[in-house]
Structure 1
Amino acid sequence: MSTTPATVTIRPITGPDEMALFNRLPYTINHELADDLAAHRRRPEWMWVALHGDRLLARVAWWGRDGDSGPLLLDILDVDDDGTEDLSEVARALYETAAKQVVPSGTTPPEYGRFIPADWRDDPDTYRAVRTRMSVLESTGARLTVERLRLQWRPGTGLPAPDPRLAFRSALDTDELVALMTRALDGTLDAHSRTDLARMSPHEAAVKHYEQELATYSSPRQWWRIGTLGEDGEPVGFVIPARNAYHPVIAYLGVVPEHRGHGYVDGLLAEGTRLLAAEHVPRIRAATDLGNGPMAAAFARAGYVNFERAVNMAWQ
C-alpha cells in the first residue's frame, strides 16, 4: 500500500464528532482535547488529519486562547509510527498544507511545543519517535530553542520549609510587580526570556510576559506574592502561584539580582507551594529550562519531581 502524500487525503476535522478519529494516535494530552474544543482553545479548522482510506496516518493541531484571532502554539504533530514505514513525507505535507490555512500569510508560525518522557533519550523507540517529529519540522525551517523539565509536587511529599528571613504580601500592584519582573530578567537563564531580550528592552519583555500569560489566569490575584526582608524590608523577589486551564502551577518565580546567592529562591518557592497546597490541590505543576540548573535544584529541594520533559522549536 502506497502512502505517499499524493495518495493521502489532508483536511481539517469537521467538528467534535471527529474527536475519536483525531485521537486514534496516542499522546499524553488526548484527554484534554475535547474540553479544549468546547472552550474554544482549539478550533476544528486548527486540527488537521492525513488519511489513507480510513487509516489515520498523521495529525497536526494548534492551541490558542478563547477570543484570540489565531493560535499561539503548535502542540500536536503525530504520525502512525508503528515502525513499518516512514511517514515523514506525509507529516511534512500535512503540516505545510495546514499551516497555509491556519497561519496568517507573512507571519512567523507559532512555536512548537511537545511533551516527551523524561528519559526519552534512553529508549530507542521513544528517541526515534521524538526525532521523527522534530526532523519533520526542521525540514520546514524550525530549530530547537530549548528543552525543559516538567516538574510536579504532590500532597504527601511534605511542604518545603519556610524561610524565617522573609515576609510576604500579595502582589496587587501591577506596576510594582512588572518592575520586579524587569529587574529579575537581568542575568536570566530562561531561553524564552533571553530570546525576548534580544528583541526588546527588559521592561518590554516583562510587560509582554505579564500581559500574555500572568494576566490571563482566572485564579485569585491575591495568591501572587512578593517576598521582602522582614515585614518592612525591601523586596527580594516574587512568586506567582496560579491555576491555568489544566493544573495548579508555579507560573513564575524570580529573585532580583542584588539578592541572589542567599537562598531566597527556596523561601519564595516554599511560599507558593504552601499557598496552593492550602487549596487542597491534587498536584502542583511547574517547568524550568534544562539548562537552568539553579532553578531545577531549587524545585528538587522543595520536593518537586521531574516527571516529563518538553521540547520547543521555533521558526525565525
Structure 2
Amino acid sequence: MPASDLTVRPLVAASELDRFLELSYVLDDELADDLAAGRRRPEWMWIATRGTRVLARASWWSSPGAEGPGVLDFFDVDDTLPPEEGVEVGFELLSAAMKAIFPEGATPPEYGRFIPPSWREDAAARQVVETRFAVLERLGARQLVERLRLEWRAGTPLPETSKRLTFRPVSDREELVDLMVPVLEGTLDAHSGADLERMTPREAAEKQHDEEFAGFDSPREWWQVATLDSGEAVGFVIPARNIYNAIIAYIGVLPAHRGHGYVDDLLAEGTRILAERDVPRIRAATDLPNVPMAAAFQRAGYVNFERAVNFTWETA
C-alpha cells in the first residue's frame, strides 16, 4: 500500500497518549511522567495512521522549559509491515514531523535508540534496527556511534576501595573543567570527538559541564577527584542521579597517569558512593570501540544489558 494514504499528525493533547502507546518501546513507561513534567509536549509526539491503525510514531524529549526539542528518542514503525513499506511509512512520518517542528535550515537534534545487545545476530531484531536506520539515512542523518549500556545491580559485590589513591570532592566548576580539558586528549568518546571538531577542548569541557553535569540534582559532593599521596590529581569520577537512574556520568584519567589501571580505582569509588544510597541499579555507558573502558566496567561487576545507537545530522 502506498504511504500517501497515511494520516500524519501530532497528538492533539496528552490525553491521546493511549494512541501513541499502540506501538511499543522500552521507554514507554516514562512517557506519562515526561508529559506531566514538561519533558515532552503533545506537539512533539507524532503518529502516522491508516484508518484506525497506528503504523508509526515519533517523539522528541527535552528539559522542562526548553524552547525546543533536545533529542529524538522515540521512532517506531509497525514491524509487521513489509520492510520496504515500513521504511516508506517511517519516512513519511518523520519527514513531516521534522518539517513542522524545526525551522527551515535548522539542524535537527540527535536521534538515540536502545537496541538489544545481540541485534546483529537476531534476524528479527536486526530488521527492526535496520528499518529505522534506513529512514534516518534517507533523511540525511549518519550514525555517530554504537554504545554499550551497562548496569551494576544491587547485591553485586562492590569492587575494593582503592589503597593507592585518596579521594576528595571536586571543589568547583573551574577545577572540574580544568581536569576535563587534558582528559579530552586522545578521547575514545565519539560525542567528545565530534565536539572537538568544532570547538576547543576547554569549550567542549564547559559545554558538557553546563549542558549535562549541571543539570543533575544529586549532591555535587559525590563528584570526586583522585589524588596521589603528594596531592597530585590522577583523575576524577562523577557519580550522579539523572531523572531516571543513578549513573556513572563520567570517568577521566589524566594523560600523565594512564596505563596504571587507575580507571578501576575511580570506577570503584563512584560505584561505592551510589551503592551506599541503596539504589537498585547503577547505569553507565561507553562507546563500543572503547574496549579498555568496557573491560573496566566488567571487572567492577557491571553487565551489558543493552546497546544504544546515536545518529546526527550535519550542522547547517
TM-score by length of 2: 0.97
Who is 2:284 aligned against? 286
**2: distance between equivalents of 1:82 and 1:283?**
34
Secondary structure at the counterpart of residue 167 of structure 2: strand
**2: distance between equivalents of 1:100 and 1:142?**
15
Secondary structure at the counterpart of residue 58 of structure 2: strand
Answering whether residue 219 of structure 2 is matched by residue 215 of structure 1, we say no
Q: Is the 8 A contact 1:117 1:309 kept in 2?
A: yes
Counterpart code for 2:279? V
Q: Which runs of 5+ in 1 are unaligned?
A: none
Q: Is the 8 A contact 1:163 1:264 kept in 2?
A: no
Secondary structure at the counterpart of residue 133 of structure 2: helix
**1: distance between equivalents of 2:184 and 2:45?**
36
Deviation at 1:105, TM superposition (A): 2.7
Counterpart code for 2:312? A
Counterpart code for 2:160? A
**1: distance between equivalents of 2:60 and 2:260?**
41
The 4+ residue runs of structure 1 with deviation greater than 3 A are none
Which of 63, 72, 75 does residue 74 from structure 1 map onto?
Answer: 72
Deviation at 1:188, TM superposition (A): 0.5
Select between 36-45 and 104-113 the one with higher mean Cα deviation: 104-113
**2: distance between equivalents of 1:234 and 1:102?**
49
Answering whether residue 21 of structure 2 is matched by residue 23 of structure 1, we say yes
Superposition pairs of residues 22-41 of structure 1, within 5 angstroms: 22-41=20-39
**2: distance between equivalents of 1:260 and 1:299?**
17
Who is 1:308 aligned against? 306
CA deviation digits over 1:99-142, x for unaligned, max 9? 01212332211111000001111110100010000100100111
Select between 266-275 and 18-27 the one with higher mean Cα deviation: 18-27
Deviation at 1:145, TM superposition (A): 0.8
Q: Is the 8 A contact 1:116 1:311 kept in 2?
A: yes
Select between 78-87 and 166-175 the one with higher mean Cα deviation: 78-87
Deviation at 1:83, TM superposition (A): 4.4
CA deviation digits over 1:20-57, x for unaligned, max 9? 11011110000001111111111101000001111000
Who is 1:189 aligned against? 188
**2: distance between equivalents of 1:100 and 1:263?**
49
**2: distance between equivalents of 1:238 and 1:102?**
39
Paired positions, count? 313
Secondary structure at the counterpart of residue 87 of structure 1: helix
Who is 2:141 aligned against? 142
Answering whether residue 197 of structure 2 is matched by residue 198 of structure 1, we say yes
**2: distance between equivalents of 1:123 and 1:187?**
34
Secondary structure at the counterpart of residue 237 of structure 2: strand
Secondary structure at the counterpart of residue 171 of structure 2: coil
Q: Is the 8 A contact 1:165 1:229 kept in 2?
A: yes
Counterpart code for 2:18? A
Secondary structure at the counterpart of residue 22 of structure 2: coil
Q: Is the 8 A contact 1:63 1:75 kept in 2?
A: yes
Who is 1:130 aligned against? 129
Superposition pairs of residues 260-271 of structure 1, within 5 angstroms: 260-271=258-269
Secondary structure at the counterpart of residue 165 of structure 1: coil
Who is 1:273 aligned against? 271
Answering whether residue 107 of structure 2 is matched by residue 108 of structure 1, we say yes
**2: distance between equivalents of 1:158 and 1:264?**
19
**2: distance between equivalents of 1:175 and 1:64?**
26
Deviation at 1:155, TM superposition (A): 1.3
Which of 53, 58, 61 does residue 59 from structure 2 map onto?
Answer: 61
Q: Which runs of 5+ in 2 are unaligned?
A: none
Are residues 177 and 194 of structure 1, via their aligned partners in 2, closer, same or farther at CA, if it must alter by over 3 Å?
same
Counterpart code for 1:102? I
Deviation at 1:84, TM superposition (A): 4.6
Counterpart code for 1:75? D
Secondary structure at the counterpart of residue 303 of structure 1: coil
Q: Is the 8 A contact 1:172 1:221 kept in 2?
A: no
CA deviation digits over 1:182-211, x for unaligned, max 9? 110011100010111111100000000000
Counterpart code for 1:154? R
